[in-house]
Amino acid sequence: MKARAGELGFFLCSVARAQPLDEEARRLEAWLHQGFQGRMEWMARHFDLRTDPTRLVPGAKSVICLAYNYHNPDTPDDPQAPRISQYAYGEDYHKVLRRKLKELLAWIRDTYGQAEGRVFVDSGPVMERDWARRAGLGWAGKHTLLLHPRHGSYFFLAEIILDLPFAPDEPMKDHCGTCRRCIDACPTAAISPQGYLLDASRCISYLTIELREAIPDAFRGHMEGWAFGCDICQDVCPWNRFARRHEEPTFDPPDELLSMTAREWQEITEETFNILFDRSAVRRTGYEGLRRNLRFLAEDTASGSPDGTGPSPG
């Protein structure tokens, strides 16, 4: 099964035993209670489904956890151009990986016999980082993203929950040590001083994608040019020196994307947006959402940058 997953492009594949996530449920409840989800009210819904895989797949025995590389170190030709996260350069990963997961699930059924199962790619009420950690795909770093000692963190997570009993893998121990580069580099103080805890309502990715309202003035001068998502905590992580460029053609950006100038970004029309991001995850924020982000960045540039210490937490 793991070999077949590799043939489909998943460079990591491991298994966790399907059982309630009791400890993780307590952490999630505390995180929600502190309001760190911001306006993402959906994160408080279906709590029982998030923490018990047998509620998603009756009789579930295994959670197959997979990782798919999206790393692309290319940067805009114009250093003043707005930036978007690497994962959004090409075709929407939800569609790309779901096709591969369905193919893997079909192979499992052909090989091992009829099985009830469901596939998930950053969709549905699944705590994918926690499952991946339990399955030994990596450890949750101080920036709260999954880290692998040979691959870094530039990868998507995906799962197949099914009622076949595959042998579970062992969890991996934490290798962050005393490093705090991600904590110190975050311009909006979204990561707690001790790490391992993220106030998502302060994260640039949340502000530019999930937040549907105006970006609060407290973040002026601290967006560091990001118009969709943010890669700062990954860019500074020492483990990502081992990250390699992806080999998935659908994740390559259109030729026009990285060549756009700062002025072309500010003048982008809805027609150009629809062409450029026809199959991209950038469509999640929509044309008006992207325009809002670009205006916010332009106003920052016009007013000049503050001292760069970042807005204080709270």
pLDDT of 52-89, one tens digit each?
999 999 999 999 999 999 999 999 999 999 999 999 99
- Give pLDDT tens digits along the chain (314 positions): 999 999 999 999 999 999 999 999 999 999 999 999 998 988 888 899 999 999 999 999 999 999 999 999 999 999 999 999 999 999 999 999 999 999 999 999 999 999 999 999 988 899 999 999 999 999 999 999 999 999 999 999 999 999 999 999 999 999 999 999 999 999 999 999 999 999 999 999 999 999 999 999 999 999 999 999 999 999 999 999 999 999 999 999 998 999 999 999 999 999 999 999 999 999 999 999 999 999 999 998 766 555 445 565 54
Residue pair 135/65 in contact (Cβ under 8 Å)? The answer is yes
Q: Could you confirm whether 110 is annotated as catalytic? A: no
Residue pair 159/66 in contact (Cβ under 8 Å)? The answer is yes
Catalytic one of 78, 122, 235, 252:
122
Rounded Cα gap, residues 92 and 28, in angstroms: 27
Residue pair 216/312 in contact (Cβ under 8 Å)? The answer is no
Rounded Cα gap, residues 110 and 270, in angstroms: 45
